[in-house]
């Protein structure tokens, strides 16, 4: 038993330093160790192996959660541990959120993890899947948001039953904090919401069946007829609308058939009606609401959340819903627009003089064109020699040649051409060319300029160049312009061979 226990400990301790490289951060390692601790059981293992595993997990746990006398560090470690326990106990449908948290480059705090889980809860539900309450067995909410269990919270919008069934009476404590009103069509289907005592801006209401306003000054035109619908309040009382007309909360958002009811000191926009009349789509987030024209995709109105209600803002210009004040971060999220376009999209940065975005500078680089002529010709023969290999040719010559190599003197532009059957012959041909130059002209080649073909960098070629003191200049990758003399000479030779004289 003791021998098996010691062997197990040695093996695990040796593996711990190597395992550190398998994870991108300490949270992943802590998650792995804590998950193993939570799910550890003896089952069919013998007792020595089981005890060895416990001891090994203890050592691994102390590696990722070392003991420290610092109170602040202890609190941080405690938050990490409970964060990992939270992730371990998640349902399978929340695994994508858990993987995102574990894959974060920086370690999030416990409160950040809770917030991300709550935000991502709605996004993990599949299409057609609605949340289910285990208390009232109804769809559309969960137990922690069940009104039958917790009661309706104050200062929030809620739906009411139709007038065919009795309206529920709110608790006295709730009725004392806010007044409740509703608007109905002639069919008396009603919706209700809470409001504060002061008259605020237009409010988007998903339960209202008609637009409603108690402020006559907001109407562009108003008419009075005998056939006006009845407005039903949430407490069961009814009143007849005093007029119907047109209102313009925004220039791009005309509201038709708005009911005028002086008894109701607030302004409601019916979501169901505005989506039908304006053919628009409405997107809600935790802080903003956006109205977009479905045919053009243009934003026709925006709003902000305040005390549980979505108020339509008075700014009619298109705006970007942002939650940061860093201009560079906003610039990145908007797709790296130019400074002028960025200032039009986010007007509060109109005084910005520059936008030092490194990604724009690197991603929008273009290759600078090469000059047509350089005034740096060699001053003496064979001070600089250009060379390049051409081939293979699709049709071999009668003797089987498919390649040729050229050597051009930069001073005189005198050219030597040698035919080759394969590229491996280059070294032997260069040796013959070098010997010929020394014999005929009694001069040595100083610099050889070529591209990055492998045959110019073989071990034999490099050793020969070094032995004879020849400098080798090679062009940059994908830049044939730097070896332009040889490239242009090869083009001239090929064009001449393809168009022989008659």
**Are residues 235 and 247 in contact, defined by beta-carbon separation less than 8 angstroms?**
no
Rounded distance between C-alpha atoms, residue 182 and residue 190, angstroms: 6
List the pLDDT tens digit at each of the 502 positions of the chain.
444 444 444 444 444 444 444 444 577 788 888 888 888 888 888 888 888 888 888 888 888 888 888 888 888 888 888 888 888 888 877 777 787 787 777 777 787 787 777 776 554 444 445 677 777 777 777 777 777 777 766 543 333 333 333 333 333 333 333 333 333 333 333 333 333 333 347 888 888 888 888 888 888 888 887 788 887 765 566 778 888 889 888 888 888 888 888 777 678 898 999 998 888 999 998 888 899 988 888 888 888 888 888 888 865 444 445 556 788 889 988 899 999 899 888 888 888 888 889 888 888 888 888 777 667 889 999 999 999 999 999 999 999 999 999 999 999 999 999 999 999 999 999 999 999 999 999 999 999 999 999 999 999 999 999 999 999 999 998 888 889 999 999 999 999 988 877 7
Domain with CATH 3.30.420.10 in the chain: 384-498
The pLDDT of residue 120: 65
- Of the candidates 213, 162, 155, 152, the one whose C-alpha atom is nearest the C-alpha of residue 184 is 162
The pLDDT of residue 190: 35
The pLDDT of residue 19: 41
- Of the candidates 432, 380, 390, the one whose C-alpha atom is nearest the C-alpha of residue 410 is 380
Rounded distance between C-alpha atoms, residue 285 and residue 282, angstroms: 10
Counting every residue written for the chain, the total comes to 502
Rounded distance between C-alpha atoms, residue 18 and residue 104, angstroms: 21
**Would you call the peptide bond into 392 cis, given omega within 30 degrees of 0 as the criterion?**
yes
- Of the candidates 248, 252, 298, 289, the one whose C-alpha atom is nearest the C-alpha of residue 271 is 289
Per 3-state DSSP, what percentage of the chain is helix, strand, and coil (rounded to 5)?
40, 20, 40
CATH superfamily of 150-163+177-312: Acid Proteases (2.40.70.10)
pLDDT digits (tens, 9 = 90+) for 8-47: 444 444 444 444 444 445 777 888 888 888 888 888 888 8
The pLDDT of residue 324: 65
Rounded distance between C-alpha atoms, residue 398 and residue 391, angstroms: 16
CATH superfamily of 384-498: Ribonuclease H-like superfamily/Ribonuclease H (3.30.420.10)
Phi, psi angle pair for 402, to nearest 5°: -125, -10
Residue 140's SS3 state is coil
**Are residues 144 and 121 in contact, defined by beta-carbon separation less than 8 angstroms?**
no
Could you give the residue ranges of the DSSP H alpha helices within 91-214? 95-102, 110-123, 147-150, 172-177
Contacts 24+ apart (CB under 8 A), 49-54: 49/4, 49/8, 51/5, 52/4, 52/5, 52/7, 52/8, 52/9, 52/12, 53/8
Rounded distance between C-alpha atoms, residue 153 and residue 145, angstroms: 10
The secondary structure of residue 89, as a DSSP letter, is T
The pLDDT of residue 2: 43
The pLDDT of residue 24: 45
Query: Does the global pTM surpass 0.75?
Result: no
Domain with CATH 2.40.70.10 in the chain: 150-163+177-312
- Of the candidates 281, 245, 271, 288, the one whose C-alpha atom is nearest the C-alpha of residue 191 is 271
Longest Cα–Cα distance in the chain: 118
pLDDT digits (tens, 9 = 90+) for 109-124: 787 787 777 776 554 4
Beta-strand relationship, 447-450 and 384-390 = parallel
Q: Which residues contact 429 (CB under 8 A, 6 or more apart)?
A: 405, 418, 420
Place of tokens 């032995």: 467
Buried (b) or exposed (e) across 237-248, using 16+ Cβ within 10 A? eeeebbbbbebe
């Amino acid at each position: 038993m003791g021998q098996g226990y010691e062997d197990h400990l040695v093996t695990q301790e040796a593996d711990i330093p190597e395992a550190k490289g398998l994870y991108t951060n300490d949270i992943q390692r802590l998650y792995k160790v804590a998950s193993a601790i939570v799910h550890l059981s003896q089952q069919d293992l013998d007792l020595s192996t089981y005890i060895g595993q416990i001891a090994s997990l203890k050592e691994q746990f102390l590696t990722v959660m070392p003991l420290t006398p610092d109170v602040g560090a202890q609190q941080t470690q405690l938050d990490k541990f409970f964060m990992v326990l939270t992730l371990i106990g998640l349902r399978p449908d929340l695994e994508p959120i858990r993987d995102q948290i574990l894959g974060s480059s920086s370690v999030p705090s416990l409160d950040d993890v809770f917030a991300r889980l709550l935000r991502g809860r709605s996004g993990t539900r599949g299409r057609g899947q609605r949340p289910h309450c285990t208390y009232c067995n109804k769809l559309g909410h969960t137990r922690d948001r069940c009104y039958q269990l917790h009661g309706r919270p104050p200062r929030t919008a809620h739906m009411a039953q139709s007038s065919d069934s009795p309206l529920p009476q709110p608790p006295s404590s709730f009725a004392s904090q806010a007044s409740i009103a509703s608007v109905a069509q002639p069919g008396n289907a009603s919706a209700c919401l809470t409001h504060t005592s002061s008259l605020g801006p237009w409010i988007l209401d998903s339960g209202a069946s008609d637009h409603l306003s108690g402020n006559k000054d907001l109407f562009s035109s108003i008419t009075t007829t005998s056939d006006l619908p009845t407005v039903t309040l949430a407490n069961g009382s009814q009143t007849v609308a005093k007029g119907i007309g047109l209102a313009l909360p925004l220039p791009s958002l005309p509201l038709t058939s708005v009911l005028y009811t002086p008894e109701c000191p607030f302004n409601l926009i019916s979501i169901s009606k505005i989506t039908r009349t304006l053919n628009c789509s409405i997107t809600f987030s935790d802080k903003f609401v956006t109205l977009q024209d479905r045919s053009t995709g243009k934003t026709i109105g925006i709003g902000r959340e305040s005390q549980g209600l979505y108020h339509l803002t008075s700014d009619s210009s298109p705006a970007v819903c942002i939650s940061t004040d860093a201009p560079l971060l906003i610039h990145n999220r908007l797709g790296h627009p130019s400074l002028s376009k960025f200032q039009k999209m986010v007007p509060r940065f109109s005084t910005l003089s520059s936008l030092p975005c490194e990604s724009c500078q690197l991603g929008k680089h273009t290759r600078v064109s090469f000059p047509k002529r350089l005034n740096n010709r060699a001053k003496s023969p064979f001070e600089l020699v250009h060379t390049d290999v051409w081939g293979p040719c699709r049709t071999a010559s009668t003797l089987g040649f498919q390649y040729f190599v050229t050597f051009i003197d930069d001073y005189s532009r005198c050219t030597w051409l040698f035919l080759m059957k394969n590229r491996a012959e280059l070294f032997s041909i260069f040796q013959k060319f070098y010997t010929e130059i020394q014999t005929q002209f009694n001069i040595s080649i100083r610099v050889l300029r070529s591209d990055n073909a492998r045959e110019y960098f073989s071990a034999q070629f490099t050793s020969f160049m070094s032995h004879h003191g020849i400098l080798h200049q090679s062009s940059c990758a994908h830049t044939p312009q730097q070896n332009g003399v040889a490239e242009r000479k090869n083009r001239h030779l090929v064009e001449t061979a393809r168009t022989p004289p008659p």
